Structure 1
Amino acid sequence: MFSFAHQMEHGDSSESFSNTGGSEMGSSYIMESGFFIKSFVATIFVAALVTIGLLFITLLIALIVMLQSCESRSSGVIQLRKISDDYSFCKVFALHAELNALEADEFPKNCKTLAIQYVKEGQYLRDLNLTMSVADDYYFSLAPEKDGLDVVLIDVDDVLSNPCTHQLNNRLGQHEENELTEEAKHLKHMLVLGLYKKLQASGWSLILITRKPEKQWNAIQESLIVAGYEGWSSLIMRSDDEMQMENWEYFSRRREHLQNQGFRITSVISSQLDALTGPCLGKRNFKLANPIFYRLKEQTESILLLQ
Structure 2
Amino acid sequence: MSAYGHEMEREYSIRSLESRGGSELGSRYAVESGFYMTSFAATIFIGGLVTVGILLVTLLIALAVMLQSCQSSRAGVVEIAKASDDYSYCKMYALHAELNSLEVEADYFPSVCRVLAIQYLKAGLYTRDLNFTMWMIESYFSTLSPTPDGLDVVLLDIDYVVAPSPQCTKLLMDGIDPCGNVDDIKEANHLKQMLTLKLFLSLQASGWPVILISRKPEGQRNATTELLISAGYGDWASLIMRVDDEMQMDSRGYISRQRTILQEGGFRITCLISCQMDALMGPNLGKRVFKLPNPLYYDFQRLTERKKLA
For normalisation by structure 1, the TM-score amounts to: 0.79
User: In structure 2, what is the equivalent of residue 300 of structure 1?
Assistant: none
Q: 1:161 aligns with which of 150, 154, 163?
A: 163
What is the CA distance between 1:292 and its match in structure 2? 1.3
User: In structure 2, what is the equivalent of residue 124 of structure 1?
Assistant: 126
Q: Which has the higher contact order (CA 8 A, sep 6+)?
A: 2
Output the aligned Cα RMSD.
Answer: 3.4
Q: Deviations over 1:63-102 (max 9, x none)?
A: 2211111121232234334434543443344322211234
Query: Any unmatched runs of 5+ in structure 1?
Result: 294-307
Matched, 1:17 2:6: no
User: In structure 1, what is the equivalent of residue 273 of structure 2?
Assistant: 269
Aligned length: 289
- Taking the aligned partners of 1:23 and 1:47, their CA distance within structure 2 comes to 42
Q: Deviations over 1:202-224 (max 9, x none)?
A: 11111111222233333322222
User: In structure 2, what is the equivalent of residue 26 of structure 1?
Assistant: 25
Supply the AA of the counterpart residue of 2:123: E
Judged with a 3 Å threshold, the aligned counterparts in structure 2 of structure 1 residues 21 and 53 are, in CA distance, closer, same or farther, namely same
Q: Deviations over 1:13-68 (max 9, x none)?
A: 22221221122233334445556579xxxx99999987776655443332221111
Supply the AA of the counterpart residue of 1:234: S
**Secondary structure of the residue that 1:209 maps to in structure 2?**
strand
Judged with a 3 Å threshold, the aligned counterparts in structure 2 of structure 1 residues 97 and 164 are, in CA distance, closer, same or farther, namely closer
**Secondary structure of the residue that 1:255 maps to in structure 2?**
helix
What is the CA distance between 1:264 and its match in structure 2? 2.1
User: In structure 2, what is the equivalent of residue 206 of structure 1?
Assistant: 210
**Secondary structure of the residue that 1:158 maps to in structure 2?**
coil
What is the CA distance between 1:173 and its match in structure 2? 5.3
Contact 1:155 1:269 (8 Å CA) reproduced: yes
Q: Deviations over 1:265-305 (max 9, x none)?
A: 22210010101112222111111122416xxxxxxxxxxxx
- Taking the aligned partners of 1:106 and 1:63, their CA distance within structure 2 comes to 49
Contact 2:98 2:276 (8 Å CA) reproduced: yes
Query: Any unmatched runs of 5+ in structure 2?
Result: 38-42, 298-310
Contact 1:159 1:186 (8 Å CA) reproduced: no
Supply the AA of the counterpart residue of 1:277: M
User: In structure 1, what is the equivalent of residue 113 of structure 2?
Assistant: 111
Matched, 1:145 2:144: no
Percent of counterpart pairs with the same letter?
51
User: In structure 2, what is the equivalent of residue 215 of structure 1?
Assistant: 219
Q: Deviations over 1:148-207 (max 9, x none)?
A: 222111111222234999789767452544222222212222221221111101111111
Q: Deviations over 1:111-145 (max 9, x none)?
A: 32322222222222222222222222222222222
Contact 2:98 2:277 (8 Å CA) reproduced: yes
Larger deviation, residues 266-275 vs 283-292? 283-292
- Taking the aligned partners of 2:53 and 2:31, their CA distance within structure 1 comes to 31
User: In structure 2, what is the equivalent of residue 65 of structure 1?
Assistant: 65
Supply the AA of the counterpart residue of 1:238: R
- Taking the aligned partners of 1:213 and 1:91, their CA distance within structure 2 comes to 31
Supply the AA of the counterpart residue of 1:139: F
Matched, 1:196 2:195: no
Larger deviation, residues 71-80 vs 47-56? 47-56
- Taking the aligned partners of 1:150 and 1:229, their CA distance within structure 2 comes to 20
- Taking the aligned partners of 1:12 and 1:188, their CA distance within structure 2 comes to 128
For normalisation by structure 2, the TM-score amounts to: 0.78
- Taking the aligned partners of 1:168 and 1:80, their CA distance within structure 2 comes to 27
Contact 1:268 1:285 (8 Å CA) reproduced: yes
- Taking the aligned partners of 1:245 and 1:161, their CA distance within structure 2 comes to 22
